[in-house]
Amino acid sequence: EAAAKQLAAASEALTEAEGARNRVKALTQTIKAYEQGLQAMREGLRRVSVREQTLARDLAASEAEIAQ
């Protein structure tokens, strides 16, 4: 959520930027916001992957117990 807010602010700054220096500053802000968004997405995917592995193990254990 924080990354989305930063990206929105960066996008607005880019739209309002006048002059080369301000545009470069706004583009830098936009790139940093994208990088933070990607980092948040990767962290979320890692958590989901770990949770999926845990659920798969639990399911396999339950299936083995039921099969006995």
Supply the range of the domain harboring residue 56: 2-67
Q: For 51-68, what is the mean pLDDT?
A: 96
Please give the Cα distance from 13 to 43 (Å, whole number). 27
Residue with tokens 């916001």: 33
Residue with tokens 């997405």: 41
In total, how many domains does the chain have? 1
CA 33 to chain centre: 10
Question: Which residue, 43, 33, 38, 47, is CA-closest to 5?
Answer: 33
pLDDT at 61 > cutoff 90? yes
pLDDT at 66 > cutoff 90? yes
Are the beta carbons of 30 and 10 closer than 8 angstroms?
yes
Q: How confident is the model at residue 2 (pLDDT cuts 50, 70, 90)?
A: confident
Q: How confident is the model at residue 19 (pLDDT cuts 50, 70, 90)?
A: very high
**pTM score over 0.75:** no
